[in-house]
Amino acid sequence: MSQYLMKNKRGVIMGVANDASIAWAIAEAVHKEGAKIAFTYPNEAILKRVTSLAETIQPDSPIVKCNVSEPGDIHQAFSQIKEQWGEIDFVLHAIAFSDRHQLTGRYVDTTRENFLKTMEISCFSLTEICKEASALMPHGGSILALTYLGANRVIPHYNVMGVAKAALESSVRYLAADLGPQNIRVNAISSGTIRTAASSGIGDFHYIMNWNKNNSPLRRNVLVEEVGKAGLYMLSDLSSAVTGDVHYVDCGYNIIGMKAVDAPDLIIND
Ligand code: NAD
């Protein structure tokens, strides 16, 4: 068993909604390497799906409620995990939310209410989770969040989510500096576009995916399993000297400055 990268490691995976979720791909990747996983769920509808997925890999997985916008839920969830396990080694934050009606059209039309809700769920939650999780990591650990290029560049319709991801990436750096002396690493993966429940709420997502496919250096979109493998790297000791980093797993799309000369012209319904 000693060859397994995640042998004797226990961690919390937050953000599985269904089997298309990036969190599920990372859960499968770390599970294959021997990790024990606790899952969280925000509501009863998702609990059913998380429970049936968790049973396929680890029938005794702790599954705890954590709606990150409910005051006290994050503390309660990590208290329950502490009761069961005492200590943990890793946490995945794969959580984002914004009103889908504002993930289309202009950023300037974002409402105050949705701006604050988006920031609370998609950004602030990482800070609160780091505080609670770090108390359960006396021997160090690895915390990973998921972000997107819309943090740094204007992507059509990504709007307030791009602003939240910019704040999330900045949070990763501040959290890495705060928790580094405890040997707790905090990083983010900036994933290329993947069709999931969350991304299907973004306006013209099909067009955005096709554009990325035609213009990324690898001329394709990233597979969710590839983000899973990168998640394994970040959550395991393979990345033991990496912290405060935003690691692109996007077939290289982030380096591109303009449309490829061989890329077809796309119309919005392509
Ligand atoms: P997903 O819909 O499978 O996952 C989003 C998760 O957020 C869901 O499990 C949902 O339950 C959870 N969530 C929303 N509000 C919550 C709340 N109040 N409390 C707790 N959980 C809550 O979609 P996904 O694409 O796998 O998203 C995972 C992460 O990856 C997100 O941070 C997303 O922004 C990021 N990301 C996705 C893409 C993509 O193209 N799909 C690209 C880059 C980054």
Instruction: Work out which ligand 1 atom sits closest to the CA atom of 95.
Output: 7
Q: What is the pLDDT of residues 125-143, one digit of tens each?
A: 999 999 999 999 999 999 9
Q: What would the two tokens of residue 192 be?
A: 């290329």
* DSSP H/E element including 183: none
* DSSP H/E element including 143: strand 141-147
Distance CA 223, CA 22 (A): 10
Supply the DSSP symbol for 39.
E
Q: Of these residues, 41, 107, 158, 233, which one is catalytic?
A: 158
Rounded to 5°, angle at Cα 198 from 96 and 64: 60
Q: What is the mean pLDDT of residues 110-119?
A: 98
What is the reported pLDDT for 268? Answer: 76
What is the reported pLDDT for 200? Answer: 93
Quote the pTM value. 0.98
- The pLDDT of residue 1 is above 80: no
Q: What would the two tokens of residue 161 be?
A: 């989510």
Q: What is the mean pLDDT of residues 166-180?
A: 99
- Residue 190 pairs with which residues in a beta bridge? 147, 248
Nearest alpha-carbon partner for 76 in 129, 14, 145, 138: 129
Instruction: Work out which ligand 1 atom sits closest to the CA atom of 93.
Output: 32
Are 152 and 135 in contact, with CB atoms under 8 Å apart? Answer: no
158 is catalytic: yes
- The pLDDT of residue 3 is above 90: no
Nearest alpha-carbon partner for 224 in 238, 207, 245, 209: 209
Instruction: Work out which ligand 1 atom sits closest to the CA atom of 15.
Output: 9
What is the reported pLDDT for 2? Answer: 52
200 lines ligand 1 (CB under 6 A): no
69 lines ligand 1 (CB under 6 A): yes
Are 98 and 117 in contact, with CB atoms under 8 Å apart? Answer: yes
Q: What is the mean pLDDT of residues 145-160?
A: 98
What is the reported pLDDT for 106? Answer: 97
Rg (CA), the chain: 18
Q: What is the mean pLDDT of residues 95-110?
A: 97
Q: What is the pLDDT of residues 208-250, one digit of tens each?
A: 999 999 999 999 999 999 999 999 999 999 999 999 999 999 9
Report the Cα–Cα distance between both ends of the chain, in Å, rounded. 48
The larger pLDDT score, comparing residue 169 to residue 270, is at 169
**236: Cβ contacts below 8 Å, ≥ 6 apart:** 5, 6, 9, 30, 33, 142
Q: What is the mean pLDDT of residues 191-216?
A: 96
Q: Mind giving me the DSSP string for 186-199?
A: EEEEEE-----TTG
- The pLDDT of residue 84 is above 90: yes
**240: Cβ contacts below 8 Å, ≥ 6 apart:** 185
Per-residue confidence band for 266, with pLDDT thresholds at 50, 70 and 90: confident
Cα 249–chain centre separation: 12
Helical segments of the chain, H only: 22-32, 44-57, 73-85, 112-119, 125-134, 159-179, 205-215, 224-235
Place of tokens 């995990």: 81
* Average per-residue pLDDT for the chain: 97
Upper half-sphere CA count for residue 255 (Cβ side, 13 Å): 9
